[in-house]
Amino acid sequence: MTTDRPLRADARRNREAIVAAAREVFDAGRFFDVRFDDLAGLAGVGTGTLYRNFPTREALAEAVYHSEITTLSDRARHLRATRTASEALTVFLRDMIDHIDAHQGLARTLATLMSAGTGDITASGHELENAVAELVAAGVAEGSLRDDVGTGAVMMALHGIGAAHARPGWRAEADGVVTLLLDGLRRNR
């Protein structure tokens, strides 16, 4: 639900509780097993509050996804502000692997919803891409990263890693892809 005015404190808490409950259901890989109405009880709110905030399952999935993207983007910007550009990108990419690993149920659910063409789940991805672009640009400006490889390559690698989360040995392979990516991005001195 998008409004032009800020939510009252109790309405904001209810909305956040619903998103948090949905995130737990996602992480458990049970998003399609739980009746949509039951999410209200898991969040400690009434069914009307659930539907007022999220009229469909897809709208709730989009809110969870947007929340995750905002958290990751904020993390990228914090790293950029507190570390060298090279360190910030390295830590961020390793953090992304940790995040994907910890939230595999969310990744599976979002992949299912995106393949079904429901909602506008991919719209929030631009926020994350912009945060990664800032990290890459800072590395280029710092002189630690090549200037002929763009953000798109980094995002493609992250998408590929996320899409392969069901592979046996995924975690080790994901760490290896990040190592290859970072090695390929570094400027030869």
**Are both 1-55 and 65-185 of the same fold?**
no
- Which whole-number Å values give the CA distances from 7 to 16, 56, 69, 90, 92, in the listed order? 11, 20, 21, 37, 32
pTM here is 0.80
Q: Give residue 117's pLDDT.
A: 54
Q: Give residue 30's pLDDT.
A: 81
Residues 93-135: pLDDT tens digits?
A: 999 999 888 877 776 666 665 555 555 556 667 888 999 999 9
Q: Give residue 116's pLDDT.
A: 56
**Do 19 and 42 contact (CB within 8 A), yes or no?**
no
Domain residue ranges in the chain: 1-55, 65-185
Q: Domain 1-55 - what CATH class? A: mainly alpha
**Do 128 and 69 contact (CB within 8 A), yes or no?**
yes
Q: Give residue 189's pLDDT.
A: 60
Q: Pick the residue with more confidence: 68 or 17? A: 17
Q: Give residue 31's pLDDT.
A: 78
Instruction: Return the H-helix or E-strand segment holding 30.
Output: none
Residues 6+ away with beta carbon under 8 Å from 161: 96, 97, 100, 174, 177, 178
* Residue 2, pLDDT above cutoff 60: no
**Do 65 and 92 contact (CB within 8 A), yes or no?**
no
DSSP per-residue letters across 92-125? HHHHHHHHHHHTHHHHHHHHHHHHTT-TTGGGGH
Q: What is the mean pLDDT of residues 145-157?
A: 90
CATH superfamily of 65-185: Tetracycline Repressor, domain 2 (1.10.357.10)
Confidence of residue 19 (pLDDT cuts 50, 70, 90): very high
Q: Give residue 62's pLDDT.
A: 85
Q: How far apart are CA 150 and CA 133, in angstroms?
A: 8
Q: Give residue 122's pLDDT.
A: 60
Residues 37-90: pLDDT tens digits?
A: 999 999 999 999 999 999 988 889 888 888 888 899 999 999 999 999 999 999
Confidence of residue 164 (pLDDT cuts 50, 70, 90): confident
Q: How far apart are CA 37 and CA 124, in angstroms?
A: 25
Confidence of residue 166 (pLDDT cuts 50, 70, 90): confident
